[in-house]
Amino acid sequence: MKIERVETFLVPPRWLFCRVETDEGIVGWGEPVVEGRAEVVRAAVEVLAGYLVGEDPLRIEHHWQVLTKGGFYRGGPVLSSAVAGLDQALWDIAGQAYGAPVHALLGGPVRDRVRVYSWVGGDEPGEVAAEVAAQVEAGFTAVKMNAGGRLSPLPTPAEIDDVVRRLAAAREVLGDHRDVAVDFHGRAGAAAVRRILPELAALRPLFAEEPLLPEQGHALHDVVTCSPIPIATGERLYGRAEFLGPLRAGVAVVQPDLSHAGGISEVRRIAALAETYGALLAPHCPLGPIALAASAQVAFATPNFLIQEQSVGIHYNEEADLLDYVVDPEPFRFVDGHLRRMDAPGLGITVDEEAVRRADRTGHAWRNPVWHHDDGSFAEW
């Protein structure tokens, strides 16, 4: 079998898909994207496709090595995401060639279902109780919310009280048998987070996510030890070496993105690295159906998996949603807040190629908002 063609599709709301076609008629799909930089990743995929055309798609690890390291310059969000999407597509092809779901090729399932969480509150959360109640009603056992919108470099008591009050409102609706995670999105600095986290501890969130930007990893250990709240991070880390620092700092949860951190191949290795530190895997995935299917395949085969993010109804999905691009939505029908095992060959979903080609004709130019503080200076989003 040989790879004949690699195509890319820029599809709303903010995604990029790739399609890898072989001379035996097997087609694999991947989702190589950096949100807000999809066109740049598209160019990177087109460059990397030059290495793949004419090659045997089943040599996944060999191709991962060449695509990741063969250009001398390596890493970073754009190149790692391009490799990630192509890696997903090669695993999809391998599964179909061997007549097995990807999780079977990874050693077989270690669980029967995968717990997922839903987003509430959007970018700038206000009153969240009704949204949390709707997710509980829909059967979810966990939600995640932003700690707040813009945060002052050193938040005022009122800003801190707002963060505490919103989390308390969510906890009250959820009760003690469901979970809420809180995402700081790197919007606060270490000093701010060290002031806020102890005040949230009594509400026992599942974890506090991205309390610091990746470039402030030197301060992560202080954040880990400032409260008993488990610390999660990793959506802006792109390979196993970048997770070593956070794991040494004591993070409890790693959150590589299957579409950013080198795909199925590398996230499996990141999970294994995390396991040696007693840390858990909770892949980032505010993305489309292919990224979620790839995430689920890893989750079914990975012992130290905790919970999976998913984007159905997320605040970013305004023009299109995850189910718009699959022939059969059934694999993504959540039952009691879980994905059921996906046993179809490959990634376990059937991409609606017609819908993808149609959407690509419109494309998108999604960019994240650029925020400013009241004094006009730049604020982290």
Which chain residues interact with Mg ion by CB under 5 A?
A: 183
For residue 183, how many C-alpha atoms fall within 13 Å in the half-sphere facing its CB? 23
Q: Is 185 a catalytic residue?
A: yes
Does residue 232 contact residue 253 with C-beta atoms inside 8 Å?
yes
- Continuous segment of H or E residues that includes residue 182: strand 179-183
Burial class (CB in 10 A: 0-12, 13-18, 19+), 335: exposed
Q: What are phi and psi of 207, to 5 degrees?
A: -160, 165
Task: Please tell me what DSSP assigns to residue 206.
Answer: S
Q: How many angstroms separate the CA atoms of 365 and 367, rounded?
A: 6
Q: List, in sequence order, every residue forming a beta bridge with 181; answer none if it has no partner.
A: 144
Q: Is 373 a catalytic residue?
A: no
Helix axes 263-276, 60-69, angle to 10 degrees: 90
Does residue 243 contact residue 237 with C-beta atoms inside 8 Å?
yes
CB of 335 to Mg ion, least distance (A): 25
Q: Which of 63, 103, 185, 260 is catalytic?
A: 185
42/187 with CB nearer Mg ion? 187
Does residue 55 contact residue 32 with C-beta atoms inside 8 Å?
no
Q: Which of 63, 103, 260, 284 is catalytic?
A: 284
If one counts every other C-beta atom within 10 angstroms of the C-beta of residue 381, the result is 14
Q: How many angstroms separate the CA atoms of 268 and 278, rounded?
A: 15
**Which parts of 138-286 fold into alpha helices (H)?**
157-174, 190-200, 220-224, 240-249, 263-276
Beta strand 15-22 with 27-30 is antiparallel
Q: How many angstroms separate the CA atoms of 53 and 63, rounded?
A: 11
Residues 6+ apart with CB under 8 A from 63: 51, 52, 55, 57, 86, 87, 90
